Structure formats: C-alpha cells, structure tokens
Amino acid sequence: MNPGGSPNSVPATADLPLSGVLVADFSRVLAAPYATMLLADLGAEVVKVEQPGTGDDTRAWGPPHAHDEATYFLSVNRNKRSVVLDLRDEDDRSRARELVRRADVVFENFRPGTMAKHGLDYARVREANPGVVYCSITGFGAGAGASLPGYDLLVQAVGGLMSITGPGPGQPVKAGVAVVDVLTGLHAAIGVLAAMRHRDATGEGQLVEVNLLSSLLSGLVNQAAGYTLAGAVPGIMGNRHPSIAPYEVFTASDGPLVVAVGNDRQFTALCRALDAPALAADPRFATNTDRVAHVDELADRLGELFAARTAGDWFELLTPLGVPCGPVNDIAGAFALAERLGLGPRAAVGDAQRPMDVVANPIGLSRTPARYHRPPPRLGEHTGEIVDWLDS
C-alpha cells in the first residue's frame, strides 16, 4: 500500500486485483500509456501527469476524432485521472515529488536524463520511497542508445521487422499498427507486476527497464531464434511462412483468402475438401518439409482450386474440417466476427454527455474481471482534487 493513499478512492474498484495500488504516470504517446491503462483496468489508481497547454502528444494526433478528441489518445487512457503539472515550476515540481513519494509504481518514458533534471529519477525517488517500483521505458536503452529517438517506425526499421515484412524483396513495409510500442507496453506491465510481487515478499522496490528495440527482438521469436541459433538471416517472404506451407494468402473468386495449414493432417483434409486428394500423396507435398521445399508449385496448384469459390464459401466449408482459413477482414469485419463469437470486444464507458465505446481489455479473469469505470480524462480534468490531496 502506498504511504499516502490514493485520491478519492473509487469503491467500484475495491474488489479488483490491483485495488489500492497508486501509479504515478509521467508517460505519454503509446507504449507506457498502454501499460498503465491495462493496470488501471485491473483496479490501479493511475494519476496521469501532463504538461500544461498540450498534455500528452497524442491528444493532437487526429483524425479520427470522437467528442472532438483524438481517438488515438482515447485508445490508451481510460480509467485514469489527469493532473497538469509544470515540472519547470518549483511548486508543481514539489507536488510531483510528493506524488512519487506516495506512489507504489512510477512510469516514465522520457529520454534518459530528463527525469533526473527534475529530481524525479529512480535514485532520488527511491531515497524517499524505498518500496517504489519504477518503470522506465526508452527506445534503445539508457546507455549507448540513450540519444536515439524512440519512434515505433524507426524501431521497426532498424530492429529488423521491416526486413521480413512486405510483398517481396526490396519492398519493406511497416506493420499497420505501432506493434513495437504495444509489445513494449506489455513487457513493461509484466515487469511491473513481477517487481510488485517481489516487493510484496521482501518490501524492496526496484527499477524496471524496458526498451523498444529489445522488446522487438524478443517479439521476433522464431525469426530471431533462427538467427541466434542457426545463423539464418530471414528475408521478406510476403504473406508466406518460412517454415510452414501452405500458409499464405490465396485469391478466391471474390477476394483474398488466408489458409494456414499447420500439419499434415490438416493438409490431407484440405486436399479432400478441394477434391484433389492426390496432392496429399504427391511426394513433393507429402510432409510439411516437402511442401516448404516446393512451395511455389503447391501455391500454383492451390491457387487454381481456390479461385472456384468465394472466400466466405471456403471459410464455411473448411473450418468444420479443422482447416484454418478465413477472409481478410477489415477492422469492422474483425469486430463483427468477435461479436458473433461472443468475445465481447467492446466496452461502454462514460455518460450520456460523453459516451464511449472502447476496445475491451483482452484479459479474462473469472473472479476479478477488468472494469471500465472512468472515460479517458480531459486535459487537467482532475488537477484540482489531486493538487489538494498532494498539498494536504
């Protein structure tokens, strides 16, 4: 429990797993705000510290907008309170120091050295608050990479992701979302929870450091391991998989169709459904290793067969047979699918004046599920109550 308690504790979160945990959130943009939002969904009291006038950079990142607010900001800031503090002002800087003294967890994602200028770095926070869990997120670490700007697109490029993403050799493409930031936010949340567990057992806080480049290298999983273990440097393969076939996009009569066959049993079932059982017996395609070695010949033959029906038809035919496949949905189609499957992909938050339909937290907990009790805050919406609490 934090030394000072949280401001105006919300009874609705009292039965959530992180109830009573106070998070001082000095972060902005995506990676760290995503992490602190996940903690807030699970009951943590997150106080988002923003700069005067503009606040979090993403408040200006639009369109699109909802309620005249950038949906980018709204996507990662629900269940938080916003306080405006000018860290160049001595009174506000003192309030920030008091906030971190009371906090269980501190998040920051400034360039290395920025927090130290304001007396808010881990070493000084720890002096006043020995049990603090202090999470620092950077682009390339706090050492030799400290001066490099940590933008997701840049990390996708220099971190190798774009070298394996795109339609073909020499045509690198970024992912359609800031996936490195999201990976980093998840790693940060896991690191903080682990550090809190350690503190619960020992009373000791600690520094949690996460960076975008290391998170991406970890997230490259099999592609990275192919290099570290076997020296293999993968290249762009379009929609194909380096180790599995058929595992790519085909063209049905009405548009693209994804087929992701992961084993020989699935391939045999696919060939029977295509009325081409001889393919499964062909020595070029009998095993997955054979199919990968002859992927072009296989793709040509399957492409001819898939062109006979629509993507929806193939989905309806092949899915009951255990063959993974499906159309390439847009985001509206993806939400429609999740709703049909009963996954509850949306959650309502806000009131009649400012209703919001947000993306649901994907973590399912049978006893303490995530709760949506507060819409993303307007800039400085809670400054008065939090300043009064810190000054008391």
Catalytic residue set = 181
Is 279 in contact with 285 (CB distance < 8 Å)? yes
Q: Which amino acid is at 352?
A: A
Cα distance between residue 224 and residue 234, in whole Å = 9
